[in-house]
Structure 1
Amino acid sequence: MHVLIRWKIKPDQVERELELLRAVYEDMHAVRPEGLRYATFQLDDGATFVDVAEMADGPGVLQQVEAFQHYRATLDERCDEPPAVTVLHEVGAYRFP
Structure 2
Amino acid sequence: MNPLARSIEELLPVRISSTFWCFILLRTTLVIFSIIVAFLIPFFSLMMALIGSLLSTLVAVIVPTLCFLRIVKKIVLSITTVALGIICAILGTYSSSSKSHKD
Q: TM-score, normalised by structure 2?
A: 0.28
Q: TM-score, normalised by structure 1?
A: 0.29
- Determine which structure has greater relative contact order: mean sequence separation of CA pairs < 8 Å that are 6+ residues apart, divided by chain length: 1
**Which structure has the larger Rg over C-alpha atoms?**
2
Whose helix proportion is higher, 1 or 2? 2
